[in-house]
Amino acid sequence: MRDSKIELMSPAGNFEALMAAIQGGADSVYFGVEQLNMRARATMNFTIDDLEEIARICGEQDVRTYLTLNTIIYDHDLSLMKVIVDRVKEAGITAIIAADQAVISYAFTKGVEVHISTQSNITNIETVRFFSHFADVMVLSRELSLLQVKKITDAIEREQIKGPSGNLIEIELFGHGALCVAVSGKCYMSLHTHNASANRGACIQNCRRQYKVIDIEEGYELEIDNEFIMSPKDLCTIDFLDQVIDSGVKVLKIEGRGKGADYVKTVTQCYREAIDSCLDKTYSKEKVANWMERLTEVYNRGFWSGYYLGQKLGEWTSQPGSVATKKKVFLGRGSHYYSKLGVAEFTMETQKLKAGDHILITGPTTGVVETVIEEMHVNDDGKKEVAVKGDKFTIKLDTQIRPSDKLYKIVDSEAVAQ
């Protein structure tokens, strides 16, 4: 097994997810601003004015920062694109992730580091050689097998293909998260049906819906085993991560800029532990089983290995949305933190909470905190077993919380919230 360090890159759709990625052990984070990124439609995106704060937070933690600017660019986008690239340089963001040659070229002329996006669909060494004039890091197509990936990384080393920095080209690979039915995300279905282009970051994910196949001429409906025929399961590589590392990749990326902070922290923690275990030679079936169990607790559509192990056809979901074994139920918000006592106060806005419940706290500065209620004091009535809507309660908590923080209860997905 190659013993060089593998960079773990995590998604950040907002400041909560950013803090969660850092808490989970990410080496780098990637994110978008309002427009010109492949999650432009998402409700979770930073603004261009957040760039300095992102750079400051991550710089203090020695975490690299990558801004995605990877949509198709039209002439009317050029001025905005240049504004974003200029602000990236001013703010001290590490690099941009780009696919359109206009972005790549402009960033290169401005001295901004460029990483080539998976939307460029790199599948061979000659394409790597071409982009090496502009970039040091490249994301390969998601449809390659690990044998094909290794052939490319071996050729980079053998032929000493270097980027603008003078260092050998580094290969990045998606390691976990949602997969698109189209090749490397190049899909026109959303554009065709709803005039919302996936290639402009506006995909409505109508491929995730149920469909019937009908013979137009005679009206016969074809019988199919799975009605979600265009909705792949999520990629998961943690059970063969040693093979991924052996393929020569230098950066492992987690998908999920549209997902919550709890997803980001859990998935990042699992892959951080897995990478470290591979490198210190303690990677085992027992550890894999534990990681898989934890990964199933947060948002997922079921897992498969993608095309990395040579599989030619996808594996499809059997139901809409997540099949996570756990879900979070909103309860209320933080009220105050008594730092000298190490006590957090919350206000219940809905539902009820009792001793023994597993809770989750998220916030833009707090990130993600999980704990189990051992005892709580409700209103001015002292120690109580239950808190209900309208109550204020306090618990012992080592981590500072803020008034903006949200409080959730973690329950089994099949359980009915009480």
Percent of the chain with pLDDT over 70: 83
pLDDT given at position 316: 63
**pTM, full prediction:** 0.85
pLDDT tens, 378-417? 998 889 999 999 999 999 999 999 998 999 999 998 754 3
**Residue 229's pLDDT band (cuts 50, 70, 90):** low
**Residue 244's pLDDT band (cuts 50, 70, 90):** very high
In 146-282, where do the E strands start and end? 170-177, 213-214, 221-222, 234-236, 251-254
Residue from 153, 159, 167, 164 nearest 124 by CA: 153
pLDDT given at position 71: 86
| Mean pLDDT value of segment 312-338 | 83
- DSSP helix/strand/coil, 196: coil
pLDDT tens, 29-49? 999 997 775 555 555 679 999
| Cα distance between residue 111 and residue 104, in whole Å | 11
In 284-366, where do the E strands start and end? 303-304, 326-338, 343-348, 352-354, 358-363
Mean pLDDT estimate for the chain: 88
pLDDT given at position 1: 36
Contact indicator for 228, 318 with CB cutoff of 8 Å = yes
pLDDT tens, 135-165? 999 999 988 999 999 999 999 999 999 999 9
**Residue 322's pLDDT band (cuts 50, 70, 90):** confident
Contact indicator for 356, 371 with CB cutoff of 8 Å = no
pLDDT given at position 317: 67
Q: In this structure, what token pair is assigned to residue 267? A: 């998935």
pLDDT given at position 149: 97
Residue whose pair of structure tokens reads 């206009």 in the numeric block: 102
| Cα distance between residue 198 and residue 41, in whole Å | 9
* Helix, strand, coil percent values for the chain (each to nearest 5): 30, 25, 45
Query: Does residue 256 register a pLDDT over 70?
Result: yes
pLDDT tens, 99-136? 999 999 999 999 999 999 988 999 999 999 999 999 99
pLDDT given at position 313: 64
pLDDT given at position 92: 98
pLDDT given at position 413: 86
**Residue 178's pLDDT band (cuts 50, 70, 90):** confident
Contact indicator for 29, 66 with CB cutoff of 8 Å = yes
| Mean pLDDT value of segment 299-312 | 85
pLDDT tens, 181-217? 666 556 656 555 666 555 555 555 666 566 666 777 7
| Cα distance between residue 412 and residue 199, in whole Å | 36
Judged on CB neighbours under 10 Å (0-12, 13-18, 19+), 81 is buried
pLDDT given at position 318: 65
State in Å, rounded, how far the first CA of the chain is from the last one: 49
Phi/psi of residue 303, nearest 5 degrees: -120, 150
Residue from 98, 13, 92, 112 nearest 51 by CA: 92
Amino acid sitting at position 119: Q
pLDDT tens, 46-102? 999 999 999 999 999 999 999 999 888 999 999 999 999 999 999 999 999 999 999
pLDDT given at position 418: 40
| Helices 15-24 & 51-60 angle (0-180, nearest 10) | 20
